Each structure stands twice: as C-alpha cells, then as structure tokens.
C-alpha cells in the first residue's frame, strides 16, 4: 500500500511537471497581458528539439538547452506578430500551433525516417536525494524525481519573488494592467511584452523537453495531448501566480496519474473515460474559479502607441 | 485634400481585396523555400499538387469532397467570430456531429430516404450544436473562456467517439468501426464513380443561410452588433448571453454537419480519428475568407485543393503532407498579421510626406 501511494504521488508530480514548467513562463506572459494559446506549439517544438539535441549531443541537458533556444525562436515570431504587428493573439497562437505540428512532423519524418524502431536518446534518470529519499512514502515519491524536477520546484519561490518583489515583476504586472500609464512614465511596453513572451517560450521549450526526455522517453507526432492548453488553464486556475500554477498543475497531474493508475489496475470503466479525466478537470477548474479573478485588465489587447 | 482622402479610400479598399491573395502567395513562396531546404524539388511538388487536385475530373471531384467539410467548419468559425467569439471547439463538434449522425444512420432500417436522410443530417447538426451550446452555457453562466473549454471538449469528444466505435457501436470483426450506414441514410453521390456527394449542396445552402441570417434578419443584425461592440449592444438592450448561446449553438451545428457529411456521405461508417483536423482547418478558411460567405466559398476551395493534392505531391515529389499544414499555418499568421501590410504602407507614406515637406521648405 505504502509503495502504491508513493508511486502514485511520484507519478502525479511527474505528470504535473510539463504543465508546471510551461505555466511558470506563461504567468509572466499573462501578467504582461498576453493570452498565449501558442504555448502548445512552443512546447511541441521543445519536445521535438529536445529529442534532436539529445540525439545529436548524447546529453539530455544539451537537449533541454536546444529545446529552450528553439522554442524561444518560435516565440519571437509570436511576439513580433502580436506585439509589433498587433495581430489577434489567439489567432496567431493557433497559427503557431499548426505551424509547430507541420514543422515537427515534416522534420521528424525527414530526420528519423519512417523506421518503426524507436530512436535511442539520452533521457533523464531519477536522481535520489541521499537521506531524504529514505523517508517512507513522501521521501520515495518526492525525492527520487528527475534532476529538472528539483530545479523547477526551487524556481517557484524565485519566480514569485521576481514577479511580486522586484522592479522587473512590477513592470510586467503594470504593463498587463495599464499599458498606457506605463508608457507615460517611460516604461517600454513593447520591450516588456517581448521579454515576457520570450521567457514563456524559453520555459515552454524546457517543458517540452522534459516531456520527451523525462516523462515519455520518445517522440511521437501527437504527444502533446493538449498539455500546453492545460498550462494556459493552470495559469487562470492558479490566479496568475507561480504558487497557484504549481497547485493547479499538481491537481491536473493527480488527475493524469489517477487515469494511469486506474488503467493499470484493470478498472471496469472503459479506458476512454479515464483518458477524459484531465480534460474534464481542466474544464471544471476553469468554470469554478474564473469568476473570482478576471486577470490583468489589458489581457489580449495589443498596445497601440499614440 | 478631398481628393487625397478619396484616393486613400480607394487604395485601402484595394488592399482589403488584394491582401488575402498576397498572404497566400507569401505562404506558398515560403513553402517552396522550405521544400527546397529539405532537398526536394519544389517545382515538381507544386506541379504534382495541382495535378493531383485539378488534373482530372476525378481529381476535381475529390478536391470538392475535401472542400465540403471545410465550408462547414469555416462557417463554424465565421459565425462565432461575427459574434465576437473564437470557436476552438470545432474539432470536437465535428466528432459529435458524426457520432449523432451514426446513431440515426445505423438504426431505423426500412425508413424511406426522404425521412431518414433529413433526420440523420438534422441529428448531425444537433450533435455538434449541443456541444457548442454547452461551451456557450459555460461561458455565459460561469465566465469560462470558450477558448480553453472548447479545446478540452475536442479531446473529450474524440475519446467519446473512440469509446462508441470500440464498444457499443462496434461492428463484429477486427476493425474498430461501425457497420455501414443504412442506405436510406446515405447522402447520394452527385457524380458517378467519384466520392462527390450532395453534402456539397448542403454546404452551399449553409453559406446562403449564413448570409441571409447575418445580413438580412434582425437576430443576425443583433449578433453582429454584439460582435462589433459589446458595450453598444448592451446599451441598446441586446442580450449578450442570448446571442453568445445562439452563435455557439449555430457554430457547433455547422461543425457537426461537417462530421455528419463525412460519415454518411464519404465514409459511410464512423471510426476513430475520422476527421483529419477539419475542425482546426476551419480557422484559416474563415480567416482568409474574412468571415464572409463569398470569401469562405473561395478560401474553402483553396484549402480543399491543397489538401486533396497533397497525397499526389507526396507520391511524386516525396514532399511530406505536413508541408501543407505549414502553408496553412503561415496563411493564418499572415492574414492575422495583415497590419504588416499597412505598417509598410504607412512607412512609405511617411517617407513620401517627408519628401514633400522637404520640397515645400525649399
């Protein structure tokens, strides 16, 4: 029983991580007034380039680095069209998602061919923290994660601090609330929004790479399964704060792990209904908690300088 | 001064018409560059694409088969857009339309076609419409953005269809699919020896309905007011909630028809993943067509041709089918970013003004 609980918690955390990592980046984007539906595409690019990087350089960490840089490049396109050209953020985001599917499918076929044998890549292996990992249940589930997991959980207080206690965070939040006022006091709205979007891209790339190099250990064309959209939902559900996103991601991860658990346990419920759990949870989360917090005032509005 | 404003008006209306064409050309050029980078022959690729989609009578019919669902999903995005909404749940609505149509199409053997077929089509509309309506209700009642809930419903609907075709509706045998639809529920083919079916006519009728409803009726007018200016609509006593619900139900219904016509017009069966992203592809169709019936008529045809020629392009030029998806994505981004066009124009005009100003100074 203890082992099962420990396995379940461990699985929940692992499933939550891609959503969490991507979500931290999206918090900054959202706070700056950007609705980033394109996160799904950013993450897919990261997932693919992570595999490519790890394959070429035989190192999962270099894979992550390649993924982050590639996603940031794609997010630059998003930033140009939404901030400079002032195009509709949702529409451009969907365009980016379609572009990412097209690009990764084309390149995957071109680079790795159609061979059915999975390609060998370096992926992350669990890293037990000496001492802590010996604690029953909590220790084995919390402290035998992959190395990036620890890094991310350490990043959350840092992200909170930056967002709520520093000058950069203040600028990001102000730009999302009242870009016109920011402009008058000399804050460069465009620059802040570009920065927030690029940071979202960077983190989405990390999230994607974790998905392929930590969670799944392979790349298939439809591996995203809406995780990027869930990250967007987690930001709303988590009330636009890093800690909130962490809780939201953990709830979604718990749903995902529950579905694995029930499938493995031979549940009487048809597996398709189990697969629906994370999506139903996301809808419930959005419906139950959106009303209280509307998010930044200038959400989704392009800023037009006078 | 007056002549200048008239001139700029003419110029701007010209640019409205020419812009979509420019966006498509730019996307095709980048597509060609990409094919070249992949080390393949882009000229052969585009040639085989055209040959595969328009080369023979059969190819043209097949292009129209691919165009039909795009008209429906294009309309789905367009009607939501006209009400100020973005219906990202079209893919799920396509699946629900197919599922509901299959329920009716598989039962009532012996019913005359003139009752069975309209009933099945109607159920397809209702299947998609219900899902659209639910998305609308969640928005109106709980303030849940239709973007996220719509996308989540896509995954749920696809899994629901998967459940039915592997379970209750599964035909005996190895394949996860339903039995063939009753003949009385099948949409008749228009041209013999092709798959072109009368669903195209339903799609064209929907385009006409879309035009009449939005531009010739009071409810349609109200819906457009809500889409253009929510505040003004509220001020003049137009119910936002009512229009959001109606728009989402209609959007879902249109998408549902796409799924329904695939099931009872093309495949005659329901199976997993029967829609190759028709729901998402409605977005570029509506966007390029400026959510206008004539625009959708043309852009749907364009994307239908691209889609139907892509297999020949893969066979003859070894270009992956996904390149078409890249081209579609670029069209979305370029059309959405149409301001680029105006930006460059503005820069040019500013330069000219500077020049003129300089001359005046002399």
Q: What number is the ipTM of this complex?
A: 0.90
Task: Write the residue in B149, B159, B323 that is nearest to A283 by C-beta.
Answer: B149
Q: A34 burial class (0-12, 13-18, 19+ CB within 10 angstroms)? A: buried
Which chain A residues have a beta carbon less than 8 Å from that of B320? 105-106, 109-110
Kindly list the residues from chain B whose CB atom is less than 8 angstroms away from the CB atom of residue A99.
325-326, 329-330, 333
A27 part of a folded domain: yes
pLDDT value for B3 = 52
Q: Is residue A257 one of the residues assigned to a domain?
A: no
Q: Is the pLDDT of residue B1 over 70?
A: no
List the Cα angle B172/B175/B179 in 5-degree steps: 50
The whole-angstrom separation of Cα B140 and Cα B349 is: 45
% of chain A residues with pLDDT over 90: 58
pLDDT of residue B134: 97
Instruction: Confirm whether A292 is domain-assigned.
Output: no
Instruction: Report the range of poorest mean pLDDT among A97-111, A146-160, B14-28, B31-45.
Output: B14-28
Q: What mean pLDDT is predicted for residues A234-251?
A: 93
Using CB atoms, which residue from B166, B287, B326 is nearest to A106?
B326
- Collect all residues of chain A within an 8 Å Cβ-Cβ radius of residue B273: none
Q: Residue range A248-271: average pLDDT?
A: 87
Nearest to A286 among B149, B280, B283 (CB): B149
State how far Cα A250 lies from the chain centre. Answer: 13
Q: What values do phi and psi take at A299, rounded to 5?
A: -55, 130
State whether residue B173 is helix, strand or coil: coil
The CA-to-CA distance between both ends of chain B, in Å, stands at: 21
Instruction: Find the range with the poorest average confidence among A14-28, A129-143, B116-130, B162-176.
Output: A129-143
What is the 8-class DSSP label of residue B88?
T
pLDDT interval class at A114 (50, 70, 90): low
Q: Which residues of B touch A88 (CB under 8 A)?
A: 336
If we measure between CA atoms, which residue out of B265, B201, B250, B205 comes closest to residue B81?
A: B250
Q: Kindly determine whether residue A273 and residue B148, on different chains, have CB atoms separated by under 8 Å.
A: no
Domain housing A188:
20-114+146-228
Element (H, E) at A99: helix A89-112
User: Is A291 in Cβ contact with B143 (below 8 Å)?
Assistant: yes
Provide the mean pLDDT of chain B.
90
Count of domains for chain A = 1
Q: For residues B269 and A153, what is the distance between their CA atoms, to the nearest angstrom?
A: 49
- Which of B102, B119, B117, B124 has the alpha carbon at shortest distance from B258? B124
Which chain B residues have a beta carbon less than 8 Å from that of A35?
A: 147
Q: Would you say residue B59 has pLDDT above 90? A: yes
Q: Which of A213, A255, A249 is nearest to A63 (CA)?
A: A213
Residue ranges of alpha helices (H) inside chain B are: 2-37, 42-54, 57-82, 90-105, 113-142, 146-166, 199-216, 218-228, 230-235, 240-261, 278-288, 293-317, 322-336, 339-361
Please give the Cα distance from B90 to B95 (Å, whole number): 9
Q: Name the token pair of A277.
A: 């759990």
- Within a domain: A56: yes
d(CA B362, CA B360): 5
CB contact under 8 A, B159 and A275: yes
Residue with the bigger pLDDT between B10 and B95: it is B95
Q: How distant is the Cα of B321 from the closest Cα of chain A, in angstroms?
A: 8
Most confident of A263-272, B2-11, B275-284: B275-284
> 3-state class of A63 per DSSP?
helix
DSSP letter for A213, please. I
Q: In Å, how far is B135's CA from the nearest CA of chain A?
A: 10
Nearest residue in chain A measured CA to CA from B138: A287
Is A282 among the domain residues? Answer: no
More confident call, A2 vs B176: B176
- Rounded mean pLDDT, B330-334: 93
Distance from CA of A129 to the nearest CA of B (A): 37
- Name which residue leads in pLDDT, A127 or B219: B219
Place of tokens 């953990």: A250
**CB-side exposure of B255: number of CA atoms within 13 Å?**
41
A123: closest CA among A217, A208, A16? A217
Residue B323 to chain A, least CA–CA distance (Å): 6
Residue numbers in B near A81 (CB within 8 A): 333, 336-337
* C-beta separation of A189 from A306 below 8 A: no
Q: Per CB distance under 8 Å, which residues of A are interface residues toward B? A: 35, 37, 77, 81, 85-88, 90-92, 94-99, 101-103, 105-106, 109-110, 225-226, 229, 232-233, 236, 270, 272-273, 275-276, 279-280, 282-283, 286-288, 290-291
The phi and psi torsions of B21 (rounded to 5 degrees) equal -60, -45
Q: Would you state the pLDDT for residue B8?
A: 65
Q: Which of A99, A232, A279 sits opposite B329 (nearest CB)?
A: A99
> Residue A37 and residue B88: Cβ atoms within 8 Å?
yes
Return all residues near B201 (Cβ < 8 A) that are at least 6 apart: B190
Burial B315-352 (b: 16+ CB within 10 A, else e): ebbbbbbbbbbbbbbbbbbbbbbbbbbeeeeeeeeeee
Phi then psi dihedrals of residue B228, to 5 deg: -85, -40
Within 8 A by CB and 6+ apart from B27, the residues are: B327, B328, B330, B331, B334
Q: At residue B352, what are phi and psi to the nearest 5 degrees?
A: -65, -40
Question: Nearest residue of A to residue B331 by CA position?
Answer: A95
Report the chain B residue with the minimal C-alpha distance to residue A278: B152
B286 to chain A: closest CA residue: A91
In a domain, A28, yes or no: yes
SS3 A269: coil
Integer angstrom CA distances of residue B225 from A167, A256, B240: 42, 42, 10
């Amino acid at each position: 029983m203890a082992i099962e609980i420990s396995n379940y918690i461990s699985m929940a955390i692992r499933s939550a991580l891609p959503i969490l990592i991507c979500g931290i980046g999206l918090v900054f984007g959202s706070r700056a007034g950007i609705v980033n539906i394109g996160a799904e595409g950013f993450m897919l690019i990261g997932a693919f380039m992570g595999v490519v990087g790890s394959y070429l350089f035989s190192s999962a960490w270099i894979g992550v680095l390649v993924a982050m840089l590639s996603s940031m490049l794609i997010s630059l396109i998003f930033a140009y069209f939404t901030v400079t050209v002032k195009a509709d953020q949702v529409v451009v985001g969907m365009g980016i998602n379609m572009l990412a599917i097209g690009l990764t499918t084309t390149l995957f076929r071109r680079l790795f061919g159609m061979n059915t044998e999975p390609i060998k890549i370096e992926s992350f292996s669990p890293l037990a923290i000496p001492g802590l990992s010996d604690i029953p249940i909590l220790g084995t589930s919390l402290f035998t994660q992959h190395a990036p997991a620890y890094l991310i959980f350490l990043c959350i207080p840092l992200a909170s601090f930056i967002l709520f206690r520093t000058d950069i965070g203040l600028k990001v939040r102000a730009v999302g609330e009242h870009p016109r006022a920011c402009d008058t006091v000399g804050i460069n709205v465009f620059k802040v929004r570009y920065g927030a979007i690029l940071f979202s891209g960077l983190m989405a790339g990390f999230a994607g790479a974790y998905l392929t190099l930590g969670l799944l250990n392979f790349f298939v064309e439809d591996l995203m399964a809406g995780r990027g959209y869930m990250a967007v939902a987690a930001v709303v559900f988590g009330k636009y704060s890093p800690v909130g996103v962490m809780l939201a991601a953990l709830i979604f991860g718990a749903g995902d792990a529950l579905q694995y658990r029930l499938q493995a346990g031979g549940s009487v419920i048809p597996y398709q209904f189990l697969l629906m759990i994370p999506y139903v949870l996301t809808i419930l989360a959005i419906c139950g908690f959106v009303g209280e917090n509307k998010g930044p005032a200038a959400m989704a509005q392009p800023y037009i300088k006078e | 001064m007056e002549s200048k404003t008239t001139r700029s008006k003419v110029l701007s209306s010209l640019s409205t018409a020419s812009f979509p064409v420019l966006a498509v050309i730019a996307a095709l050029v980048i597509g060609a560059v990409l094919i070249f980078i992949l080390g393949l022959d882009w000229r052969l690729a585009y040639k085989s694409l055209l040959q595969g989609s328009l080369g023979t009578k059969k190819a043209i019919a097949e292009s129209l088969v691919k165009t039909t669902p795009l008209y429906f999903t294009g309309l789905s995005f367009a009607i939501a857009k006209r009400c100020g909404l973005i219906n990202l749940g079209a893919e799920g609505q396509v699946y629900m339309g197919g599922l509901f149509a299959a329920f009716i199409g598989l039962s009532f053997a012996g019913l005359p076609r003139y009752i069975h077929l309209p009933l099945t089509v109607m159920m397809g509309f209702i299947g998609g419409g219900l899902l659209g309506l639910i998305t609308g209700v969640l928005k109106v009642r709980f303030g849940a953005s239709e973007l996220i809930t719509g996308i989540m419903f896509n995954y749920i609907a696809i899994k629901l269809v998967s459940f039915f075709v592997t379970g209750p509706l599964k035909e005996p045998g190895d394949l996860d699919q339903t039995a063939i639809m009753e003949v009385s529920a099948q949409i008749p083919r228009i041209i013999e020896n092709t798959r072109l079916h009368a669903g195209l006519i339903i799609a064209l009728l929907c385009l006409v309905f879309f035009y009449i409803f939005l531009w010739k009726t009071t409810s349609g007018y109200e819906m457009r007011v809500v889409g253009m200016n929510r505040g003004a609509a509220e001020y003049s006593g137009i119910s936002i909630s009512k229009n959001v619900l109606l728009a989402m139900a209609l959007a879902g219904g249109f998408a549902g028809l796409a799924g329904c016509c695939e099931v009872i017009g093309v495949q005659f069966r329901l199976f997993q993943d029967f829609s190759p992203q028709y729901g998402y592809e409605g977005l570029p169709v509506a966007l390029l067509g400026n959510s206008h019936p004539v625009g959708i008529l043309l852009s749907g045809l364009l994307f239908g041709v691209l889609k139907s020629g892509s297999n020949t392009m893969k066979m003859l030029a070894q270009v992956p089918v996904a390149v078409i998806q890249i081209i579609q994505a670029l069209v979305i981004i370029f059309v959405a970013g149409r301001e680029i066009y105006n930006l460059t124009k503005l820069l040019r005009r500013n330069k000219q003004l500077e020049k003129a100003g300089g001359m005046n100074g002399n």
